[in-house]
Structure 1
Amino acid sequence: MKPEKILTIGIDIDGTVTSPSSIVPMMNESFGRDLRYEDCYDYNLANVYQITEAEFEQWLDQNGERLYNEAPVHGIADQVLRKWYPAHKLIYISAREARHHDVTLNWFARYQIPYHEVDLLGSHDKLEAARKWGVDLFLEDRLENALQLSEALQIPVFLFDTPYNQARLPELVHRVSSWEEVDRKLKALTFGQALV
């Protein structure tokens, strides 16, 4: 058996560490809709809710703090991340704005989610941050990010399965359905085994 390799893991927050469905009840409440998470076929929720980009941006500006504070943990993400922390470097790279730093760290503390770095970019373009931190693997729910990161950096990306990221995936992007599966795949990766 090969020795375990220590990895620098880039981790998205929303829809990856937090439950991907957590935004839907709040959007329904605000826009008087009754959509289900399964109806969110597009990452761009302005399209799903048939509102303008500006309306969505304004909504997120007004409700981001509450959303980030109230979002539930995605499955057993907290347990898996606590298990990984001693062996791997955990770098959270998120499109959240820097002004949400405190609510983000308070949420991490509440759920005892460990981190080495939290990088809030205010943009969906995570490539430069992933390069800067030297990530070996990325965990993501946004298809465009997964494709860009895997191609540009030639690293594996674990893409959490959602209604809004369905597409054929290149070899380096691995669709995962749970944090249990992510944990199994990481184990295979660190021991140099094939990801199946």
Structure 2
Amino acid sequence: MNICIDIDGTITNAYYWVNYMNEHFNLNLVDEDLIYYDLCKVAKVTEEQFNEFYRIYSDELHGKAVIRENAKQILEQIAQEHNIYYVTARDISLKTITEEWFEKAGLPKGELFMLGSHNKVKTAMELKCDLFIEDRYENAIELSQTGINVLLIDCYYNRHPLNNNIKRVSDWIEIKEEIDMISKEKKYA
């Protein structure tokens, strides 16, 4: 199978930015407060204020990102059986820091697509994506509406109604179980 995988919030812990935001904006947010994907809305700051925060911390945020539990091991297993593509909204200006982070984290090789936007449908279609692993609700909806199956990793900010092409998963163990089941179904189809 061709499996596309988002990075931030999917491979990485979805809430690792909280401490940085708390310190920078003098807040006391906890993970459960991140009920919106839009961090401006969460922090109650303007887009300009958030962009300044991101300009200051982006290298550190992406260079020290925390990997979700079991993600590395499961990605290694998936990469042995399937084609994996990392498809991220990160801007191409973060390519070096992203590649260094992948190397340091020991994640399996896969082609890296840095889109600079959340518009992932075109890339997924070009890659003949069978399955997309994602955390952003809006991306999951857009991808699923084209017929792509999506595993949406559960986060406080994506708990909205799902359609038939989206399956909510709680962690990377469940992701592996779903991939194995889909793979088996494809073999017998």
Q: TM-score range by the shorter chain?
A: over 0.9
Alignment of 1:13-92 (within 5 A): 13-92=7-86
Deviation per residue, 1:171-193 (Å, 9 max, x gap): 11000100000000110000008
Report the residue type matching 1:151 in the other structure: Q
Quick one: distance in 2 between partners of 1:24 and 1:89?
A: 33
Distance across 2 between alignment mates of 1:93 and 1:16: 11
AA in 1 matched with 2:24: S
Deviation at 1:170, TM superposition (A): 0.4
* Amino acid of the structure 2 residue aligned with 1:106: E
Q: CA–CA distance in 1 between the matches of 2:179 and 2:68?
A: 17
Aligned to 2:184: 191
**Structure-2 residue corresponding to 1:3:** none
Partner of 2:123: 129
Query: Using the alignment, how far apart are the partners of 1:116 and 1:40 within structure 2?
Result: 30
Percentage of pairs with the same residue: 35
Q: Output the TM-score relative to the length of structure 1.
A: 0.92
Secondary structure at 1:124's aligned position in 2?
Answer: coil
Note the C-alpha offset of 1:61. Answer: 2.2
Aligned residue in 1 for 2:148: 155
In the alignment, the residues of structure 1 paired with residue 18 and residue 126 of structure 2 have an alpha-carbon distance, to the nearest angstrom, of 33
Q: Which amino acid aligns with 1:46?
A: C
Deviation at 1:111, TM superposition (A): 1.5
Who is 1:175 aligned against? 168
Quick one: distance in 1 between partners of 2:123 and 2:47?
25
SS at match of 1:19: coil
TM superposition shift of 1:116 = 2.2
Q: Distance in 2 between matches of 1:134 and 1:28?
A: 40
Q: Residue 74 of structure 1 aligns to a residue in which SS? A: coil
Instruction: Please list every run of at least 4 consecutive aligned residues from structure 1 whose deviation after the TM superposition is greater than 6 angstroms.
Output: none
Asked if the contact 1:137–1:155 (Cα under 8 Å) also holds between the matched residues in 2, the reply is: yes
Deviation per residue, 1:19-38 (Å, 9 max, x gap) = 00111111111111010011
Q: Residue 169 of structure 1: SS of its match in structure 2?
A: coil
Q: In the TM superposition, what whole-angstrom CA distance separates every residue of 1:87-140 from its partner, at most 9, and x where no partner exists?
A: 111101101110111111111111211132001111111111111222110000
Structure 1 residue 62: deviation in Å? Answer: 2.1
Matched to 2:76, the amino acid is R
Letter in 2 for 1:126: K
Residue 58 of structure 1: how far off its partner (Å): 2.2
C-alpha RMSD of the superposition = 1.0
